[in-house]
Structure 1
Amino acid sequence: MANPEHVERVKDPSWNSWRSQIAGMVPDLTDTDLSGLDLSGRDLSTADLSRTKLDGTNLDGANLGRAILRGASFKGASLNRADLRDCDLEFLVLDGVPMVGASMKNASLKNASIKGSDLTACDLTGAKLESGEFAGTVFSFGRLLYTNFRGVGIAGCRFEECDLTQAIFDGVVYKAGCFDKAVLRMAFFRESNLAGTSFKGAKLLKTVFKGANVTGCDFTGADLTEADLERAAGNGCVFSDAVMRKTAAIKADLRKSVFLGASLDEADFTTAILDKLDLRTPKLKMTNFTGARLQGATGISANLRGCNFTEADLSAADLSEANLEGVILPRAKLAGAVLRRANLKRARLTGVSAPGADLSGTNLIGADCEDADFSACDLRFSRAIGATLLGASLRNTAISHADFSEAKMGGTSFVGAKGTGAKFTGQLHLRLVLAASAFFDKGKGKVEKVEDRRELERQARIASLEKGAADRDRSVAGRGPTAREEGVDETRGRRRGGDQG
């Protein structure tokens, strides 16, 4: 039963002054009808408002901290800037109630219904939302740190520029949602359905998307540093201008995704599906594509130095004129790939499978191609000076004018290879000498010295041939990133000298 004096006093604008004079007073307003009143700014903290009707009541700026609100009715009420800290709002219906700027820190909203409400700039830090229904509610600019949305209905909600640090969205269904410019550091979206959701400009540092459905999501300009996208399904995602430094996308399906201008430094795409990936525009530095599927990828003139493509599937990829100097490609699949005039200088191509690939004009100087399969390839005008081709297969390969000077070719198969003008200088080996000398202990040291001397001489010849090839060839494949300008200046100098002569 409500206290009659309290009921009358609360309607008076002097309520706050009167209450401040009575220390420790707990207002009793139970089972009271306060509908339609203007109670804005009232101090109703700790008040008992159980089963009270507040329909259409103006409670803007009111202090309801720790008030008892079980069974209260707020239909058509207004709670803008209201203080609802530590309140028990479980099972209450607050559909459509405006609560702009309200504070609900540590409040319990379990099983509450707050559909279509405006909670812009609200503070829900630490609030309990289990089994709540918030469909269509606006949380924009709010503070929702550490909030748990697991099992909460948030369809149609908006979270622009919210602070959702360490928030939990595991298993939620939130399609075509909006987290633009939101702070989601260390948030969790494990196994969530986020198809079509926008994360433009969001802060997603160390955010976890393991097993999430991010198909068609827009991460333009987002910071995904050290984010976890393991097993995420993201067909057709947009990562334009996103920062993905050390992002882990292991086993992720990101086929047909766009990475225009994205920074992928040290990102891990191990065994990820990246079909049709455009490698021309992302910033790649020590990016790991081990075992990744990159079928039909486009990397024309792309700078791929320092990347790891171990056992990657680059079948039918176009890497024409790409810079792959020193790139790790052991056991990679390059069937039908196009690498015309690409720079594969000192690349690791051991065990690579490239039947039918176009390697014409390619720079393979010093490349390790042991046990590689180049059968039916086009190696015309390629330069494999000093390359290791031990056990490699060049069956039915076109090798016109290819340069294999000083290459190691023990066990290399040229069965069916065709073409004129190929160079094979410096192919003498010391195997027989070493085999015969192996029986003589005294001869071993001498043989080793001879071998070392011969190898040094071979490396010197390779360096000389490489320099000569660089002077003759002005293609992208034949020049390093800095040698290009030097070569141009040197050529111009020679021409000036000729003119003066």
Structure 2
Amino acid sequence: MVVPLQLSPIQDGIPAWNAWRRQNPDSLPDLSGANFARQELREIDLSLSFLRNADLSQVDFCLANLEEANLDGAEMSECAMYTANLRYASLKESNLTQADLVEASMVGADLSLAVLQRARLDRADLTDACLYTTNLRQASLSNVILIRADMREVDLTMADLREADLREANMSFAVCSLSKFVGATFCKANLYRANLSLANLCVANLMGANLYKASLIGANMISANLYMSDMRFANMAQVDLREACLRIANLTGANLTGANLGMANLTEATLYRANLAGANLYQANIHQANLDGANLTGATMPDGRKHP
């Protein structure tokens, strides 16, 4: 049963509200369009509630229960939601600019088209969440869990995702230029045509990842694990792959002009028709690598000699 705002006891305080929710488990409070700006709603139970287009800016929602709540189009800038429960909540087109979502549970949440610019999501759990075209520019997402998340066309420009878990995430067409992914895990992630130019992927694990036609211009991939990854036709000009693992990786047609592959492991890698002009392969392991048709003009070979 949907209960409109004027009939609900929310004005009587959080304990009374939560007691009413327990006594009326079938109620679905409709607080759409309500103005709760700057209020303290810590530990409130708003699960299954309708809060569409509500003004929740600067609200204290720490420890609150918003599971399966509808927050589409809500104004939630600078909202405090530390450890809040937002599992399977709908936040489509909501504004969460500079919101604090540290350690929030957001499994299965829908954040498509939402704005989370400069928001804090460190250690938050976004497993199976939808972040389609979400704006996360300059957001802090260190140690965040994004397993199997739908991140198509997400904007992560200058975002911090150190040690993030992005296993099997769909990041096709994602914009991640200048982002930090140090120590992040991308095992079997889909990064088709993603823009990772100038991103820091030092010691990141991209084993089995799809980087087909991705842009990695000038990226830092020192000691990255790219075992069995698909980098066909990727633009990797000036990329730093020193000591990286590229065993059995597919780099067919990839642009590696000026790339630094010093001491990289390219055992059994496919570099068919790859452009390695001016690349550094000094002390790289190219045992059984396929270099048929590759352009090695001016490249420094594993033995230190310059290719003509």
Q: Please tell me the TM-score bracket, short chain as reference.
A: 0.7 to 0.9
1:367 and 2:214 matched: yes
What is the one-letter code of the residue matched to 1:141? L
* Alignment correspondent of 1:141: 7
Q: Deviations over 1:218-242 (max 9, x none)?
A: 1123221111111111111112232
Between stretches 409-418 and 354-363, larger displacement belongs to 409-418
CA distance, structure 2, for counterparts of residue 159 and residue 380 of structure 1: 51
The 5 Å alignment of 1:83-482 reads 141=7, 154=13, 156-158=15-17, 181-427=28-274
Q: Could you say if the C-alpha distance between residues 156 and 405 of structure 1 is closer, same or farther in structure 2, counting changes exceeding 3 Å? A: closer
Counterpart amino acid of 1:310? T
**Structure of larger gyration radius:** 1
User: Do the aligned partners of residues 197 and 418 (structure 1) sit closer, same or farther apart at CA in structure 2, a change above 3 Å counting?
Assistant: same
Deviations 1:457-500 (A, max 9, x none): xxxx9xxxxxxxxxxxxxxxxxxxxxxxxxxxxxxxxxxxxxxx
In the TM superposition, residue 354 of structure 1 has moved relative to its aligned partner by 0.7
1:324 CA drift (Å)? 1.9
1-side partners of 2:265 and 2:239: how far apart?
16
Cα distance in structure 2, aligned partners of 1:313 and 1:387 = 23
Structure 2 spans left out of the alignment, 5+ residues: 22-26, 279-292, 294-308
Distance 1:425 1:294, change over 3 A: same
The number of equivalent residue pairs is 273
Counterpart of 2:110, as a letter, is: S
Larger RCO (CA within 8 A; separation ≥ 6): 2
**Letter matched to residue 423 of structure 1:** T
Alignment check: 8 A CA contact 2:206 2:227 kept: yes
SS in 2 for 1:225: coil
- Quick one: distance in 2 between partners of 1:428 and 1:219? 52
Secondary structure at the aligned position of 1:182 is classed as strand
Whether the 8 Å CA contact 1:161–1:183 is kept in 2: the answer is no
What pairs with 1:482-493 in structure 2 (closer than 5 Å)?
none
C-alpha separation in 1, matches of 2:194 and 2:212: 9
* Distance in 2 of aligned mates of 1:304 and 1:339: 13
What TM-score comes out, normalization by structure 1 length?
A: 0.50
What is the SS of the residue equivalent to 2:17?
coil
Identity of aligned residues (%): 25
Q: Give the conservation status (yes or no) of the 8 Å contact 1:140–1:161.
A: no
Cα 1:417–1:223 change in 2 (3 A) is same
Where is the helix percentage greater, Structure 1 or Structure 2?
1
Change (3 A) 1:426 1:141: same
Q: In structure 1, how many angstroms separate the alpha carbons of the residues matched to 2:169 and 2:108?
A: 17
* Shift, 1:394, TM fit: 0.6
Q: CA RMSD in A?
A: 3.1
Query: For 1:115-145, what per-residue CA distance to the aligned partner results, in whole angstroms no more than 9, with x for missing partners?
Result: xxxxxx9x9xxxxxxxxxxxxxxx982599x
Label 1:326 to 1:194 Cα distance change in 2 as closer, same or farther (>3 A).
same
Aligned-partner residue type, residue 206 of structure 1: N
